[in-house]
Amino acid sequence: MSADRPTVDPNRVVQHVQAHVASRLAMMGAATSCVVALSGGLDSSVLLHALARGPRRGELGIRAIHVNHGLQAAASEFAARAEALASSLCVPCVVIQVNIPPSDQGVEGEARIQRYRALAAALQPGEWLLTAHHDDDQAETILARLARAAGGSALRGIAPVRSFGAGHLARPLLGLGRAELLAYAETCGLQWCEDPMNRALDLERSFLRHQVLPLLQTRWPDYAAQAARSVALLQPSLALAEQATLRQLASVQDADPSVLNLDALLQHGDADVLAMVRMWLAQLGLERPGARWLAELLRQLREGAEALHLVTQQVQVRQYRRRLFASRTGPAEPRTLSDDQEWDGREPLPWSDGREYVLSAPLREPLQVRFRRGGERIRLSDQGRSQEVRDLFQRHGLPPWNRDLPFLFVAGNLLAVGDLWQSEAFRRHLGTVRLRSHPLESMD
């Protein structure tokens, strides 16, 4: 235990952890609807139990989601254990299956990406997703990011709260250590799964947890709490630097903030350019590339590469008409609708450009969704002439790779092109309902 964290009497550990979770949620301003990311392991089991049995249990609407990655034979056992715990606490639980494709992020990194995309898609407006990260996880994250030359984000650590999907993400166990969670689980007689992958030393986190951090603990027994304290002390300085970068980024963003004005960007020094690119990619919900990739991007930008197109398995950055565009590599999510299908907005519409489209409420009369075929025309104003969508693309400088958008029809008439152009007739059809799109969620 840390000198900064009071030693917890085993007889009071349950009250201590439950009070900590309740106070963290109150400080974060968490609403009354919470979703626990329940793996079935020690940490998330403690979190769900502390919520369901804690002092705010009468105020909270709690549900749980278990994401089954299907990476090992015991995956179904983990799902069953999670469902059993939730049922014993009278908490509804759903299991979501995800596939883990090959990735330069590695199995561990790609599993995290797919897990958070699934959780984001399942989150309802205004809900708070709660994950079970604690101080030992904070220390692991800092070391892992430092090893990858992650820059200032390494020292920022795990954010205690941030916007996420249609709601927010919070980590109410930050401020507690793994030893406290273990004592809580043993006192309450909880049963949990031990993931064999947590012992696989070829995985980054497992190597840190079982080889590096125990060695640190022999010299600095309270290293995890001190790392968490260091993160807290650094936050004001990091926040000031982040605000400065945010102002710089706003000055080089196009009318569309997902596009950068290349000439304006290159007026800044190298360190500022890299900081702005990192923040820009984060705003777009894209994974942060490594230091070498960013250095190569900077080199090509400075040398004026006309055909700039840098790619990882997750991110690609391209130039068009002296503007910089970023997107996910390839179809981030397969189209779930075939050509000329109906969509009433009850479920999000994932698209191959790495975005998904949502309606603020379901429609009584569904829309027809079609892929671009060429030659489509749209009449934006009731009083105006129809015009070719191709001309709109060219006039607004939309790069060729961003033209794969859902074309939305009603009664055979094209009324909207994604959420970029919507006709007056389309707005009448929607009434008070609104169409918007956002990047498919990624995770930090």
Same domain for 146 and 264? no
Pick from 61-70, 95-104, 209-218: least confident:
95-104
- 239 belongs to a structural domain: no
Domain final residue pick, 297, 328, 359: 328
Same domain for 21 and 110? yes
- List, as residue ranges, the binding site for ATP: 39-44
- 41 belongs to a structural domain: yes
Q: By residue range, what is the domain housing residue 303?
A: 253-328
Instruction: Please give the pLDDT value at position 396.
Output: 87
Same domain for 316 and 417? no
Pick from 251-260, 307-316, 364-373: least confident:
307-316
Same domain for 209 and 278? no
Q: In the block, which residue shows the tokens 């299991």?
A: 95
Same domain for 96 and 182? yes
The per-residue pLDDT for range 219-265, each reduced to its tens digit, is: 888 888 888 888 888 888 888 988 999 999 999 998 888 899 999 99
Query: What is the enclosing helix (H) or strand (E) of 232?
Result: helix 223-252
Same domain for 314 and 366? no
The per-residue pLDDT for range 272-297, each reduced to its tens digit, is: 999 999 999 988 878 777 788 889 99
Domain final residue pick, 328, 354, 373: 328
Same domain for 287 and 215? no
Of residues 164, 119, 131, the one with CA closest to residue 24: 131
Same domain for 309 and 390? no
Pairing assessment for the beta strands 421-422 and 413-417 based on DSSP bridges: antiparallel
- 244 belongs to a structural domain: no
- 67 belongs to a structural domain: yes
Q: In the block, which residue shows the tokens 């999000």?
A: 348
What's 307's domain CATH number?
1.20.59.20
- 116 belongs to a structural domain: yes
Q: Against a cut of 0.75, is the pTM above it? A: no
- 1 belongs to a structural domain: no
Same domain for 355 and 285? no
CA 323/CA 319 separation, integer angstroms: 6
For 345, other C-beta atoms within 10 Å of its C-beta total 18
Q: Which residues contact 140 (CB under 8 A, 6 or more apart)?
A: 205, 208, 209, 213
Q: What is the mean pLDDT of residues 32-43?
A: 90
Same domain for 117 and 53? yes
Domain final residue pick, 229, 245, 275: 229
Number of domains in the chain: 3
3-state secondary structure of 240: helix
CA 284/CA 240 separation, integer angstroms: 21
- List, as residue ranges, the binding site: 39-44
Same domain for 215 and 272? no
Pick from 75-84, 344-353, 386-395: least confident:
344-353
Task: Cite the DSSP H helix spans in 371-411.
Answer: 389-395
Same domain for 209 and 322? no
DSSP 27-87: HHT--SEEEEE--SSHHHHHHHHHHHHSTTTTT-EEEEEEEE---STTHHHHHHHHHHHHH
